[in-house]
Amino acid sequence: MPAPVLPPNVLPPVATAALTTPPPMDAATRSKAGLVTVVLAGNPNVGKSVVFNALTGLYANVSNFPGTTVDTPHGRCKHNDRIFIQDTPGVYGLSGLSDEETITEAAVLDADIVVNVVNATTLSRDLFFTQQLIDYGCTVLVVVNQMDRLANTQQQLDVERLETLLGVTVLPLVATHAHGVTPLITLLNQLPLEANAITQAGNPCPGMVPGQPARNAEANPAQRMHAYGLRRKHINAVVANTLTQTTPSTTTPTSQTLSQRLGTWCLNPLIGGVSLLGVLWLLYQVVGVWVAGDLVNFTEGTIMLGWVIPPIQWAVGQVFATDSWMYKLLAGEFGVLTMSIQYIYGVLFPLVLGFYVYLSVLEDSGYLPRIAVLSDTILSRIGLNGRAIIPMILGFGCVTMATVSTRVLTSQRERTIASTLLAVTIPCSAQLAVIMALMAAAGGFKAWGVYLVILSALFCAIGAALNLVLPGKSTPLVLDLPPMRLPQLTNVAQKTWVRTKAFIAEAAPLFVLGSAIVGVLHVFGALTVIQHWLSPLTEQWLLLPGETATAFVMGLVRRDFGAAGLLAMGDTLTAAQVMTALVTITLFVPCIASAAIFWKERGPGEATAILLGSWAIAFGMGAIVARILAWVPIL
Amino acid sequence: MSLLTLLVGQTATLAAPSNPYLQIQLMRMGLSEGAQLTLKSKVPAGPMVFECNGTEIALGHDICKQLHPQPQPHLSLT
Ligand SMILES: Nc1nc2c(ncn2[C@@H]2O[C@H](COP(=O)(O)OP(=O)(O)O)[C@@H](O)[C@H]2O)c(=O)[nH]1
């Protein structure tokens, strides 16, 4: 197998909107306007997004991967426009252990009413957060979701008893059923009349004073431990009093369901490893070969270059002479109108769509968290944990998208490490297609071997170095594993569509800006000057012909342009030169869009460091590779 | 002896973790002192996957190293 590398194009996971999008107005303004603020809160993966979607008609990401809601969607209730609904990231409690917990804490304290969604099959875990909300003085309505799955476990929940013990209204639901959320809507419809009509203040945990005193107490580490201990005991007792086994559990541990067996298999290093290779290979076939090849040929070649771009050029030509700089700027080789439309709709859109379909299927099936568990061993050595596998896989699609998705990681430190690795070592799908073609010129199998060894070694080395240098420690993996199941078509379709739209909306202006900058440089001859400056570097330092400088500069615009420039020079380069150039161009700079995303996500200082670092590493590594290959002619 | 010594299929009763941060984090998830953990799978030198109260949870190697079963003869084969 020559090409264990993978994939394709674009994609992100999970986070689509900004982490801290503020609601359109603050709580005080809302209540003056006669709006009631309802905040949805709950542990990860309880079904909160399904409830949010049903209430608002908007779409929050529904996925079978714990911790995927990192943005905070909000909107009016579609059944009652006096209700303002705010979603929150899923958390296990309010302890300020992560950004998500801080965001959620602020939101629930601001709420008129907190709709706390809990999972019926994990009550003893979920009710801890419920009790904490009650203790913090929030007005809580508990929604026990996934009642259908509880029935499957031969258990029965005494809802009235639970209401009595917690002192708040408890509503059982199956959110995924057609009208599953109706009882909640009916209840919320009474809300604007009397806030207290639908639930009450709740019973604090024995031994605790609700409201501000409880919050103050928990701000103190020693008292916090005590409070958590009391609460955990209390909740265990509540669950023991409300949940009963309906049939004595005669099921022996051997009678596993298919879903359980699949789940266990995925975690076996051998089966899981092989299946991961299979999943990546298929991803490569579907997105890398079919979408990036055949489909993009059609969308970019036939539709864009054949039908869309010529009329634009013609129209611009009516206004400006075709040799004027305005024409070149608007409709020339790097024209703002032509290049950005061609790239965004002809290339990016089909790739993003394809990648998201694939990712959504993996996500909805429950497979991703298991990959995360398997990869934890390696990732925890470089300051990350298994969760970071998602951005890494996405990076092979589109580094820009993957960088956005590092928002799912727990700490800033992990986000820095992951973004740097993405920027430097992961080739995106746009490059991969051209890289594959060049590999043949560089010697096939052997070339792939050399290339992969260099990149994996750098990946580990950079990760390990950052892990050593950055203050702090990586957070160890604690991950819920949802059951494996067949992906649901509607979930996959909706999720794909929402993410694709969100990504294009986020990336498109950056591409336009990028092509405008390059267009200006080009029209005023600056590109040629830069290439001129770079040529000594490429000739003396990398032992490459001077013209390769053009390919490097093009790589800034679109990473695949760089590799494609090399391809055009193909025959004039030796195998060693192709390898040197490929390694350099892979490491060297992310494209303009991803540079802009680093800026936005990581801040100017860190973004500059990442960019300069990637230049240094690219030219440094390139020089080393060129010299080693000159001594040791293995290619 | 830490949870790392468990074999797949064995059940242990969790002793209180000595690291307060970890204790808080796990307590919220229902893994407090006395929780019954059944080891479902184990990635070599990596995370362990436990079943606890009907759900599966993966804990990183470093966490498992810091967690201990209660000393009693609780390591029962199931
Ligand atoms: N069987 C069943 N599955 C549900 C129910 N509600 C949600 N789910 C599934 O649980 C998973 C997590 O849902 P999601 O809304 O993404 O959870 P969130 O993380 O709380 O937003 C998804 O795969 C849902 O389809 C339910 O009532 N019954």
Which CATH number fits the domain that encloses residue B47? 2.30.30.90
DSSP A180: T
* Chain centre to alpha carbon of residue A237: 38
pLDDT of residue A22: 42
Residue B51 lies in a domain: yes
pLDDT 10s digits, A454-510: 999 999 999 999 999 999 888 889 888 888 888 888 778 877 887 787 778 777 887
pLDDT of residue A72: 66
Between vectors from CA A237 to CA A231 and to CA A239, what angle results, nearest 5°? Answer: 100
pLDDT of residue A141: 93
Q: What is the DSSP string of A78-104?
A: TTEEEEEEE-----S-SS--SHHHHHH
- Ligand 1 atom with least separation from CA of A66: 19
Does residue A367 sit at the B interface (CB-CB below 8 Å)?
no
Kindly state the average pLDDT of the residues A265-269.
87
Test A124 with B30 for CB contact under 8 angstroms: yes
Number of domains in chain B: 1
Of the listed ranges A186-200, A210-224, A227-241, A422-436, the one predicted with least confidence: A186-200
pLDDT of residue A5: 32
Better pLDDT: A553 or A380: A380
| CA A562 – CA B1 distance, rounded (Å) | 55
Between vectors from CA A488 to CA A483 and to CA A491, what angle results, nearest 5°? Answer: 110
- In chain B, residues with a C-beta closer than 8 Å to the C-beta of A372 are 58
Residue B27 lies in a domain: yes
pLDDT of residue A66: 46
Model confidence pTM above 0.90: no
pLDDT of residue A508: 81
Question: Which of B53, B56, B59 should we substitute to test contact with A (largest number of A Cβ atoms within 10 Å)?
Answer: B56
| Nearest residue in B to A268, CA atom | B43
Give the closest residue to A417 by CA, choosing from A381, A364, A443. A381
pLDDT of residue A558: 66
| CA A181 – CA A198 distance, rounded (Å) | 16
* Chain centre to alpha carbon of residue A152: 32
CA-proximal residue: ligand 1, atom 10 (nearest) = A47
Measure in Å the smallest separation between the Cα of A137 and chain B Cα atoms. Answer: 19
Partner-chain residue, chosen from B30, B47, B55, that has the shortest CB–CB distance to A477: B47
In sequence order, the β-bridge partners of residue A287 are none
Q: What is the DSSP string of A442-476?
A: HTTHHHHHHHHHHHHHHHHHHHHHHHHHSSS-PPP
pLDDT of residue A382: 93
**Strands annotated E in A223-379:** 243-245
Residue A70 has pLDDT above 50, yes or no: no
The residue range of the domain holding B53 is: 3-66
pLDDT of residue A220: 86
Residue B36 lies in a domain: yes
pLDDT 10s digits, A555-598: 776 666 666 777 777 678 888 888 898 898 888 767 777 888 88
Kindly state the average pLDDT of the residues A31-55.
85
Q: Which residues contact A454 (CB under 8 A, 6 or more apart)?
A: A583, A621, A625
Residue B72 lies in a domain: no
Of the listed ranges A141-155, A238-252, A299-313, A424-438, the one predicted with least confidence: A238-252
* Chain centre to alpha carbon of residue A381: 22
Per-residue confidence band for B71, with pLDDT thresholds at 50, 70 and 90: confident
Query: Could you tell me the end-to-end alpha-carbon distance of chain B, in angstroms, rounded to an integer?
Result: 20
Better pLDDT: A367 or A61: A367
Residue B37 lies in a domain: yes
Kindly state the average pLDDT of the residues A274-285.
85
pLDDT cut 90: percent of chain A above it:
27
Residue B38 lies in a domain: yes
Going from the C-alpha of A432 to that of each of A8, A164, A289, A435, A503, the distances in angstroms are: 7, 60, 10, 5, 21
Residue A156 has pLDDT above 80, yes or no: yes
- In chain B, residues with a C-beta closer than 8 Å to the C-beta of A129 are 28
pLDDT of residue A384: 94
Which two tokens mark A561?
């342009």
| CA A378 – CA A389 distance, rounded (Å) | 10
Strand, coil or helix: what is A24? coil
Give the closest residue to A263 by CA, choosing from A480, A478, A45, A49. A480
Kindly state the average pLDDT of the residues B29-46.
88
A158-161: Cβ within 8 A, 24+ apart? A158/A241, A158/A242, A158/A243, A158/A244, A159/A242, A161/A241, A161/A242
What burial class does residue A246 get, using C-beta atoms within 10 Å of its C-beta: 0-12 exposed, 13-18 middle, 19+ buried?
Answer: exposed
pLDDT of residue A237: 94
pLDDT of residue A277: 87
Residue B18 lies in a domain: yes
Per-residue confidence band for A280, with pLDDT thresholds at 50, 70 and 90: confident
Residue A8 has pLDDT above 80, yes or no: no
* Chain centre to alpha carbon of residue A404: 6
Ligand 1 neighbours (beta carbon < 6 A)? A 42, 44-50, 62-64, 69, 90, 145-146, 148-149, 174-176
- In chain A, residues with a C-beta closer than 8 Å to the C-beta of B56 are 263, 480-481, 483
Of the listed ranges A10-24, A296-310, A614-628, the one predicted with least confidence: A10-24
pLDDT 10s digits, A441-458: 777 788 888 999 999 999
Share the mean pLDDT of chain A: 82
Residue B76 lies in a domain: no
| Nearest residue in A to B33, CA atom | A229
Identify residue A530 by its one-letter amino acid code. I
* Predicted interface score ipTM higher than 0.85: yes
- In chain A, residues with a C-beta closer than 8 Å to the C-beta of B61 are 376-377, 380, 476
Measure in Å the smallest separation between the Cα of A589 and chain B Cα atoms. Answer: 33
Test B30 with A477 for CB contact under 8 angstroms: no
By DSSP bridging, strand A113-119 and strand A80-86 are unpaired
| CA A357 – CA A337 distance, rounded (Å) | 29
pLDDT 10s digits, A296-330: 889 988 999 999 999 999 999 999 998 888 898 88
